[in-house]
């Protein structure tokens, strides 16, 4: 095997005595997280329903390459006021001919109506959108379903991270604790003005840098990018205030955003069930890398460094 | 003031009674971290010496825009075997006509000699490069200078984060603790093969996603991008194994990499001194956002969500 200059994700089928001799003090290398995921049995994978997906088609890039971004919506009971609005906006084809309006390096990509601030030119929203107050950012009083899965390192605020149906959920201490979905790389949330209830869901953002933990509980988490993240993260950065583009020509046009159930031949995605033994092994291996590249295990892992594995299903639905 | 759709970094010069009336249960908004940094006195800023900078000029982009990336090298006594090699490589102009070879979404951008794996075609390295073993990834036995600055949330492994001369440094518990610089968005490290001493510094990477905490103590941290990060983070992603480009045409050419002391008219950068009262206030404000946008403070902050502020000096040197 020709050794490549790997930083990580090394797959080593068998450690040879010669390789071990280079690092005699180390225990034998163990499997990598990617190997645990690859070996997970079929029953450990859960299919994501098509109506839980949002499909954003950007205009093709300069080389003519199609750019499709697939987003999984956050499951009930979190953020459902906004998620309901997003379904209405997608069903109304409201986002067609809108645009990516802001790319702030290390922070977020944002999209919506470029004229939203201009009352004379702003695109009319569909009727029936709900207004949700800041109380909607968290579920309180035991309103959450039971959380489970492996325990991770606590968030920098005093909350535990557990899982629900493939999603990392933060949970405060207490008998009927408040719970909320957390921001990670690729998380999608609802842009808003100063009043905390100002966000309808028409303006959305995706995280393209370090998890902005300070946004948790201050803004609605509504989804996560599960395919095509690179089409957002590699966009040119904006040079206006907080990364807004300064000219219309800089914006990337959005051709359409649809619910997955409206998109023919979309394919199917699955997540590794967060209750499965394979997921527990994966998180443990992410926290304590002992595959061949590593000389020292971290002994812990942040929720955003152990993303829930998601794959395209092998057969189409 | 026309309210923009801001996600953060909101600058509010004075909270009006009307604005406060919208959120009556909240205390009056306080200053944002960005305002604390803007108000820091001149003596809180420390100039970075030109010979501590590495200046990478990429080929211009498709629109003809110059792409310059400025990297600050990690200070002694950490990683100095590799930093010395990097100085030699820059002084030998070794990186001229090399390339960006790998972009893995949410992880790293990597650069160096595209032919490094091909013995017949690999570019010869300058003589006199040092080989540093994995022991060089940390300083042990009290070899570190005193660390100081505000205390942050612990890393997911059991280490404290403190500061030295503008750099976040992790420190194990104990009397003469091991210390090491940590990975964040924009951190630059030394790519290496499987043997932990294989990295010379000729092949470097920069982090473009969530801080890969698992790499700490497993690879040499040698610097951080302080300007032009967007020219790395927005590059097209590679679609080969672990993000390597599959064809030479996909690679971005590197015109040159020089020590800052060799670059005329470079300008000067300064960091907010990590011992200054302004920095302590900045970290406290990042951990407990109470500026106008926020309805709930996090109560803690990860080291990579409180990046040490860096600015261009107002006057050229």
Kindly report the number of other CB atoms within 10 A of residue B253's CB atom: 14
Rounded CA-CA distance A203/A82 in Å is: 11
CB contact under 8 A, B116 and A5: yes
**ipTM of the complex model:** 0.89
> Is B94 within 8 Å of B54 (Cβ atoms)?
no
Q: Is A295's CB within 8 Å of B196's CB?
A: yes
- Closest-CA residue of chain B to A24: B195
What global pTM score does this model have? 0.90
Cβ of A10 and B215 within 8 Å? no
Q: Which residues 63-92 in chain A show a CB within 8 A of chain B?
A: none
A193 and B CB contact within 8 Å: yes
Query: Reduced to 3 states, what is the DSSP secondary structure of residue A192?
Result: coil
- A176-185, A261-270, B130-139, B148-157 — which is least confidently predicted? B148-157
* Torsion, Cα of B49, B52, B57, B63 (10° steps): -60
Check CB contact under 8 Å for A155 and B287: no
CA of B245: how far to CAs of B96, B102, B119, in Å?
19, 6, 19
Asked if B2 has any chain A CB less than 8 Å from its own CB, the reply is yes
Q: Chain A within 8 Å of B268 (Cβ-Cβ)?
A: no
Contact A185 B107 (CB under 8 A): no
> Does the CB of A119 have a partner CB in chain B at under 8 Å?
no
The 10s digit of each residue's pLDDT in A170-223 is: 988 777 788 999 999 999 999 988 777 778 999 999 999 999 999 999 999 999
Chain B interface includes A191 (CB < 8 A) = yes
What is the tens place of the pLDDT at every residue in B81-131?
Answer: 999 999 999 999 999 999 999 999 999 999 999 999 898 999 999 999 999
Which residue in B has a C-alpha nearest to residue A8's C-alpha?
A: B242
Of the partner residues A10, A209, A301, the one whose CB lies closest to the CB of residue B213: A301
Residues of chain A contacting B6 with CB distance shorter than 8 Å? 193-194, 242
Q: How confident is the model at residue A12 (pLDDT cuts 50, 70, 90)?
A: very low
8 A C-beta contact, residue B298 and residue A214: yes
> What is the rounded distance in angstroms from the CA atom of residue A204 to the CA atom of residue A190?
5
Confidence of residue A21 (pLDDT cuts 50, 70, 90): very low
């Amino acid at each position: 095997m020709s050794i490549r200059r790997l930083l990580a994700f090394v797959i080593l089928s068998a450690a040879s005595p010669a390789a071990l001799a280079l690092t005699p003090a180390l225990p034998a290398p163990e499997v990598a997280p990617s190997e645990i995921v690859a070996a997970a049995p079929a029953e450990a994978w859960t299919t994501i329903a098509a109506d839980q997906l949002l499909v954003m088609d950007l205009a093709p890039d300069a080389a003519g390459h199609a750019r499709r971004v697939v987003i999984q919506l956050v499951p009930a009971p979190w953020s459902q006021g906004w998620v309901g609005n997003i379904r209405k906006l997608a069903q109304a084809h409201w986002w067609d001919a809108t645009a990516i309006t802001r790319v702030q390096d290390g922070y977020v990509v944002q999209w919506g109506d470029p004229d939203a601030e201009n009352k004379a030119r702003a695109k009319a929203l569909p009727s029936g959108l709900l207004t949700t107050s800041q109380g909607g950012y968290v579920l309180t009083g035991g309103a959450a379903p039971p959380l489970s899965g492996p325990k991770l390192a606590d968030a920098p605020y005093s909350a535990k991270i557990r899982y629900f149906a493939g999603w990392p959920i933060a949970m405060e201490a207490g008998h009927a604790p408040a719970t909320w979905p957390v921001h990670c790389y690729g998380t999608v949330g609802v842009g808003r003005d100063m009043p905390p209830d100002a966000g309808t869901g028409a303006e959305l953002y995706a995280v393209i840098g370090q998890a902005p933990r300070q946004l948790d509980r201050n803004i609605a988490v509504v989804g996560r990018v599960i395919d095509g993240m690179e089409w957002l993260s590699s966009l040119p950065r904006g040079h206006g205030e907080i990364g807004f583009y300064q000219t219309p020509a800089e914006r990337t046009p959005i051709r359409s955003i649809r619910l997955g159930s409206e998109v023919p031949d979309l394919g199917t995605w699955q997540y590794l069930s967060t209750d499965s033994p394979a997921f527990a092994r994966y998180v443990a291996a992410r926290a304590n890398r002992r595959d061949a590249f590593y000389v020292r295990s971290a002994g812990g892992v942040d929720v955003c460094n152990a993303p829930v594995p998601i794959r395209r299903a092998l057969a189409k639905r």
